Amino acid sequence: MKLFNKAIIAVATVGAVISGSALAEVTEASSEKHAKAATQYRQAVFQLVRSNMGPLGGMAKGALPFDESVMQTNAVRLEQLADMMGDYLAVDTRKFDVETGAKDVIWDNFSDVEKKVMALKTAAQGLQAAVKTGDESAYRGAIGKIGASCKSCHDDYKKD
């Protein structure tokens, strides 16, 4: 499991370095193969987000005890995944028949998508800060902000 976690962090770090803090520019998929690959990569990033949110959500709901190590690790990962999201979301796949959970409007209002991704990054940094201070009373709220940032994007840009 530790090897898997290290591999995920390494991939996320490389993605963060490549994407940097520059805003992604929407580009059209150049072929069905490109559209399918872009969709797979997007979905992979969101699977990783989900896997890191699960334990945090359990802690916020009181179903799991607060675990500062898990909160710190998962918050770092979520920050890194947010750094990659813009790049993977920026490939407009509408012209091709690919199975995606994204609403078409995502590419029409991409600056808003990027703001929502930045909100996720900021919220993940907020959880990291709460963990560093050891302020257990702030944990639930910090996790809630991450969840709210995810929900905001889902409400506007994810198909039901």
Binding positions for heme c are 150, 153-154
Give dist(CA 32, CA 84) in Å, integer.
22
Sign of the alpha-carbon torsion through 64, 65, 71, 73: negative
- The annotation places the binding site at 150, 153-154
Distances (CA, A) of 31 to 34, 90, 111: 5, 15, 24
Residue with tokens 């918050």: 75
* Nearest Cα to Cα of residue 65 among 55, 52, 78: 55
Q: Quick one: 118 exposed, middle or buried, by C-beta within 10 A (0-12, 13-18, 19+)?
A: middle
